[in-house]
Amino acid sequence: MSAVSIPSRAIDKPWTIDDDDATRGNLLWAIANGRIPKHIARRLAWDGICWVFNGCKDRDGYGATHAGGSMQLAHRVVYEAVNGAIPVGHDLHHAECGRKHCVDPRHVVAIPHGAHSRLTRIGAGAKLSMQAAREIRRRHARGDIAITALAAEYGVGPTAIWSVLSGRTWREYESEGA
């Protein structure tokens, strides 16, 4: 670990980063070069897990701030400052931590909208998750458990299990292309 001093025009305190962490360095580069506005940079903090935004939150718990003349989500502002524009048809997903106030470029990834919708269903009351779908596919492929038994175990109907196995639901987002 080494302390990295950011010019005072960007932020008024030193940040500590791993020497070999290029992405976290990109965040610091974006702060130092004014790509992330000073009022946002001052509200970023390393909590031992993520770079988090400690400013205002919207009603859903995402960091919210003024940038570019309008109210924007902090993780989107930081993502675009570090990585460039969010690709058309993509949403940002907190892949590593799932924390809405996280703005860490290592944790926030752009994925196709449909994949993001499926990945966030679990938060909207879905009984299955991507992890459960992977386990269902793995166990069924071994051939030692029937669809009806899987359905009973996961508390869903056989149609839901068939939909996972056929790829109709809970597809891996990497297979959808970018």
Mind listing the pLDDT tens digit of every residue in the chain (178 residues)? 444 434 343 344 444 444 455 555 578 888 888 888 899 999 999 888 889 999 999 888 899 998 888 999 999 999 998 888 999 988 888 877 778 889 998 888 888 877 766 666 555 556 777 788 889 999 999 988 999 999 888 888 888 899 889 887 777 654 344 4
**d(Cα 98, Cα 104) in Å, to the nearest integer?**
11
Of 35, 38, 36, 42, which is closest to residue 15 (Cα–Cα)? 42
Whether residue 90 contacts residue 111, with contact meaning beta carbons closer than 8 Å, is answered with: yes
pLDDT of residue 73: 93
Whether residue 156 contacts residue 162, with contact meaning beta carbons closer than 8 Å, is answered with: no
**SS3 category, 51:** strand
**d(Cα 87, Cα 153) in Å, to the nearest integer?**
39
Domain ranges of the chain: 2-117, 127-176
pLDDT of residue 127: 74
Q: How many Cα atoms occupy the beta-carbon half-sphere of 120 within 13 Å?
A: 14
Look at the pTM and tell me if it is higher than 0.85: no
pLDDT of residue 125: 58
DSSP state of 123: G
Report which secondary-structure segment, H or E, holds 158: helix 158-166
DSSP letters, 53-114, are E-S-B-TTS-BEEEETTEEEEHHHHHHHHHH-SPPTTEEEEETTT--TTB--TTTEEEEEHH
**Beta bridge partner(s), residue 16:** 3
**SS3 category, 171:** coil
- Residue 5 in tokens: 């001093």
**So what CATH class is 2-117?**
alpha beta
CA distances from 118 to 112, 156, 172 (A): 10, 17, 10
